[in-house]
Structure 1
Amino acid sequence: MKFMDIDMAAKPKQFFSKRWSLIALLALPVMPTPALAQEFLCDATQAYANELPVLDKACPIGKGLWGNSKPRGSESTFWIQCGVFGKPLSLEKAKALYKHIGTDVWIKPEAKGWRCLIGPYTNFAEVKQDLAKVKTEKGYKEAFIREVVRGAPVKAAPLPVKTKKSSKPAAQSTTVIPAPIKQPAKPAVVATPEPKKAQQEIAIRLATTLNGVEYKVPYVMFSDDQFYMEHSLPWNRMDYEEAYKTCYRLGMGMATVEQWQALLKSGEMEKGQWPMHLPYWGSNKVGLFTSGKTNQLKGTSLLNVMCVK
C-alpha cells in the first residue's frame, strides 16, 4: 500500500496553531500493531498559545470513579475532572494545576458549560497520585477520576471472612501498587508570547546509540508545528523541510534506509516507547515506516522526526 502525501495547506490557519493535539489517524494508510490500534485518539484544537486546548465534543471521557473505587477495565484510560464552568477555564488559572500533574489540562464543551479535564492517563496509580495533589489546590477539592473502560473486566476481590478476634495483632497485609510511568518533564506553560529563541527550544525526548550511530527524537517546544499524542505525550509532526532544519540545528542529519533498518531490528523503539503511529522522515525525503517499508515522498507530509549522527 503506497503512502500518500497529505497536503495540510488547505486546512485553516487555526489548525496549525495547536500546541497539543489528539488527532484521529485512521485516514493514514499506516498499519499499527494490535496494541496501538486499541488506543483511542480524538480530535482537539488550540486556537492560541495562551489558551487551553479544547477537546472535541465526541472525545470519550468515561464515567466517574468516586471514593475507593477500583478500575472496571484492565486496560482503561483515565481523566481527572477538575470542574465544570460556565465559561472556558483560562490558562492563567490552570497554571496552578500544572505544578501538581505530569500531563496536560484540557477543556471540553458541554451542553451547559465547559468541563475541565486533566490527562489522559493509562496508569491508575499515577492518576490517583495526581488527583490527591490537585485536590489540595483551592477550588478543586471536588475533583474526581473518570474511567474510559477498556480491556477485560477487573474481578472484584472476595469479601473478607469474619473470624474470631485474637489477642495477637494480625499481620498487616501489603498491596503492591505499580509505580507510576516516568515521563519527561513538561515545558512550563506561559500565558504571554516568548522571544523567538525560547519558542524554538529543542528538547531530546528519546536517544539511543547503535553501531556507533546516535539516534535522537527531538521535541520542539513553544512552536506552531502540528502535534499528536502517543504514549500520553505530544510529539512533533513536521514536513521534510522543517524536520531537516531541526536536525541541522542539532548538528545532525536524517537517517538512511540502512540506519533505519538497524534501529528497527534492535527493538529499541518498542522497548523505549518511541512514537510509532506515524512514519519518520529519512534522508532525501524518504518515508520510513515501522513496518520496514520505505517510500519516496514529496516532502509535504507531516511525519515523525528523528535525527542521526
Structure 2
Amino acid sequence: MDINMAAKPKQTFCKCWTLVAALALPLFSAPILADEFLCDATQASTNELPLLDKTCPVGQGLWGKSQPRGQESTFWIQCGVFSQPLPVAKAKKLYQHISTDVWAKPEDKAYRCLIGPYQDFSQAKQDLARVKTEPGYKEAFIREVVKGAPLKKAAVKPQPKPKPSSKTKPQATTVIPAPVMAQPEPIASEVVADAPQPNQSDVAIRLTASVSGVEYKVPYSMFSNDQFYMEHNLPWNRLDYEGAYKTCYRLGMRLASSEEWQALLDSDVMKQDNWPMHLPYWGAEKTGLFTSGKVNQLKGTSLLNVVCVK
C-alpha cells in the first residue's frame, strides 16, 4: 500500500514517489464531498494535518458487525479524539494502511482524527482492519453519513454585550481589500490565436477525449511547485482557479462550461479510461464540476483537478 495517497509538494515526477519512506502532507484548501455536502478543508503547513470544517458531517458510529443504514452513504474511519490534532509523524504510520487521507476535525474542546471519506463500505472495512493493527488504534471504528439525513449545524455561542462606558473609545473598522478577480474567460477562437505554445518538457497531456466535437485534455505539470495527489497510482495536479485557467490558456484551450462537463460525464469516457475522479474539476467562471453532475460556485483558492477544452 502506497503511503502517498495524499497530495505532496513535488519537484519532478518519477516512480521513486512510490518508494519514498517519508511523507510530506499537502497544503489543503479544497472542498471534500460527503453526501453531496461541500466540506471546506484547510491546511496551514505541511507540518500539520489538514483541518475539516466544523460543519462537515461525519455521521454516526457503526460498531461491531453493524451494517450501513443507507444505500448511498459516505463513510469515515474515526481514529481517535485528541486534545490536539494528530501529529504528522503519527499520521505517517497510518498511511501505509489506508487508501485515502487522514484529517483532523475540530470539536468543542478536542480534535477528531478521521480517515476518509469512503464511498465503498467494504473498502472502509478493509482499511479499518489494517488501521487496528497499528498500536494505539484498536478502538478505531467506522462512521456513516446517511444520504439525505439532516445535517447538524454548529452551535454558535452568543457573545455577551459589552457594558457601556464613557471611557470606551469607538473601535476602528478594518477594511479588507476585495480580492483581485480573474480575467473573464476568453472565447475559444481568441485563445487559439493568442495563447503561447507550451513547453512540452513542462506540461504533459495525461488523458484526451473527443465528445460531440469538443476536445478534452487533462494536463500534468511535470516540473513545477504545483500540488498533486495520487489516484490510479499516478500523481495528478491540484491547482487553484488561476493556475487552472493559466494552464489551459498556455495549451491554447479553456476551462469547460457546465454543458461541456455534462456531455463528458454522459459519454462514460472518464470511467472507462480511469480519469481522476476523487476531486472535482475547475470549470469556467470559478465553478466546481463534480463527477456526480453537480456544479457549484467555489472560491478560487480551492485546489481541484484540471481539464481543458477546445
**TM bin (shorter chain):** 0.5 to 0.7
- Contact 1:244–1:253 (CA under 8 A) maintained in structure 2: no
Structure 1 partner of 2:283: 280
Q: Is the 8 A contact 1:21 1:234 kept in 2?
A: no
Q: 1:307 & 1:209 partners in 2: Cα distance?
A: 11
Tell me whether 1:21 sits opposite 2:30 in the alignment: yes
Give CA-to-partner distance per residue, 1:221-280, whole Å, 9 cap, x none. 9956799xxxxx9973433565434785xxx4425989x588567442476676696653
1:95 to 77, 92, 97: 92
Identity across matched positions, percent: 53
* Counterpart residue number, 2:210: 210
- Contact 1:255–1:307 (8 Å) recurs in 2: yes
**Alpha-carbon distance in structure 2 between the residues aligned to 1:89 and 1:119:** 15
Q: Which moved more, 1:127-136 or 1:237-246?
A: 237-246
Among 107, 110, 114, which residue is 2:107 paired with?
A: 110
Q: Which amino acid in structure 1 is aligned with residue 307 of structure 2?
A: M
TM-score, length-normalised on structure 2? 0.53
The 5-angstrom pairing of residues 144-293 of structure 1 reads 144-150=141-147, 207-210=207-210, 215-218=216-219, 223=225, 236-240=238-242, 243-245=245-247, 248=250, 252-254=251-253, 263=264, 266-269=267-270, 280=283
Find the aligned partners of 1:106 and 1:301 in 2 and give their Cα distance. 19
Which of 132, 149, 169 is matched with 2:129 structurally?
A: 132
Contact 1:18 1:48 in 2 (8 A): yes
Counterpart of 1:42 in 2: which secondary structure? strand
Letter in 1 for 2:217: K
1:214–1:66: structure 2 CA closer, same or farther, 3 Å change rule?
same
CA distance in structure 1 between the aligned counterparts of 2:288 and 2:36, rounded to whole angstroms: 22
Length-normalised TM-score, structure 1? 0.53
- What is the aligned counterpart of 1:121 among 118, 135, 160? 118
Indicate how the Cα distance of structure 1 residues 289 and 140 shifts in structure 2: closer, same or farther if over 3 A, else same: closer
Counterpart check, 1:41 vs 2:44: no
Mark the runs of 5 or more structure 1 residues left unpaired by the alignment.
Answer: 1-16, 25-35, 153-200, 228-232, 291-299
**Cα distance in 2 between the residues matched to 1:256 and 1:21:** 18
Shift of 1:137: 0.9
Q: 1:289 & 1:87 partners in 2: Cα distance? A: 34
Q: Cα–Cα, structure 1 residues 242 and 60, in superposed 2: closer, same or farther, change >3 Å? A: closer
> 1:114 offset after TM fit, Å?
1.3
